[in-house]
Structure formats: structure tokens, C-alpha cells
């Protein structure tokens, strides 16, 4: 998987006036996501608030400020790419860092805010809420 900095760098090379290239790139990012096992695509892992089906699996280490890793999947190509971007931004970081990280500046920088349908934007916000909730929960369990 790419890092968020690699994704930012790749977006910087894409034509800012042609969002088609950016959409194709987002879809490519989603194609690189490892598949979740069928039993991981459960109601427990499903992100509510998304029009497309999105599943997030949360794994956390032990410790006062645990590292939290996420794996995800969607049944929609573009949304799978958005999942990949959110995983690049949040996965593998300490829970406190996840809670403190605001995705909005990154989404604006990538031009995603202005090009997503309202339904996809709402789904993306639901995914971010879920990620931050799981990180906050990891902090509370560790305390």
C-alpha cells in the first residue's frame, strides 16, 4: 500500500483540470487493497452511513497509546479507492495521532471534496468517524 505522502505526490503530477485522471488513480488505489475474508465482511465491520457497502477491520496493539491498524474493503470501485486513501492516512499510527488527524485538509489538497457526490462525501465522513471512534476506543481501553 502507498503512504499518504506518495498519494499526495502522485496527485500533484495529475492534471488538476481533468478529474477523470484523478478518479482513475483513486480506482487504481482501491485495486491494490488486499481482499477481506468473507467472514470479515460482516455487519459488525460494516460502516453505517455509506451508500456503498464499506467494511473496516480494526486491529490494535496493546499499550498506553496503541498503534491501530485498519483494513478495509468496499463493493464500489471509487469507494474502495477512498478506503485506500483513508487507510494510508490513518492506519498504522498511534491512536492519539489518529484522533488528532483532520482529514479535511488532505481531501481539499487532493481535490476530493469538490468532486465527490454528496452521498460519497457523507460516506467518507462516516468512514472517518468510524476510524476516529475506534482509535478513541483503543485509547479508553488502554487507560
The rounded mean pLDDT for the chain is 92
Task: Give the separation between CA 20 and CA 39, rounded to whole angstroms.
Answer: 34
CATH of 4-142, one of 3.30.70.270, 3.90.1010.10, 3.90.110.10, 3.40.50.300: 3.90.1010.10
Alpha-carbon Rg for the chain, nearest whole angstrom, is 15
pTM higher than the cut 0.75: yes
Task: Give the separation between CA 122 and CA 21, rounded to whole angstroms.
Answer: 23
Annotated domain spans of the chain: 4-142
pLDDT digits (tens, 9 = 90+) for 118-137: 888 888 999 999 999 999 99
What positions carry a catalytic annotation? 50
Amino acid at each position: 500500500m502507498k503512504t499518504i505522502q506518495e498519494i499526495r505526490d502522485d496527485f500533484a503530477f495529475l492534471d488538476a483540470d481533468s478529474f477523470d485522471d484523478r478518479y482513475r488513480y483513486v480506482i487504481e488505489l482501491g485495486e491494490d487493497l488486499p481482499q477481506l475474508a468473507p467472514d470479515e465482511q460482516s455487519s459488525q465491520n460494516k460502516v453505517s452511513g455509506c451508500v456503498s457497502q464499506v467494511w473496516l477491520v480494526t486491529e490494535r496493539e496493546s499499550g498506553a497509546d496503541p498503534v491501530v491498524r485498519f483494513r478495509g474493503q468496499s463493493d464500489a470501485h471509487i469507494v474502495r479507492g477512498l478506503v485506500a486513501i483513508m487507510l494510508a492516512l490513518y492506519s498504522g499510527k498511534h491512536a492519539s495521532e489518529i484522533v488528532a488527524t483532520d482529514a479535511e485538509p488532505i481531501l481539499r489538497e487532493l481535490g476530493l471534496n469538490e468532486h465527490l457526490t454528496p452521498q460519497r462525501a457523507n460516506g467518507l465522513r462516516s468512514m472517518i468517524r468510524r476510524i476516529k471512534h475506534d482509535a478513541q476506543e483503543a485509547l479508553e481501553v488502554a487507560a
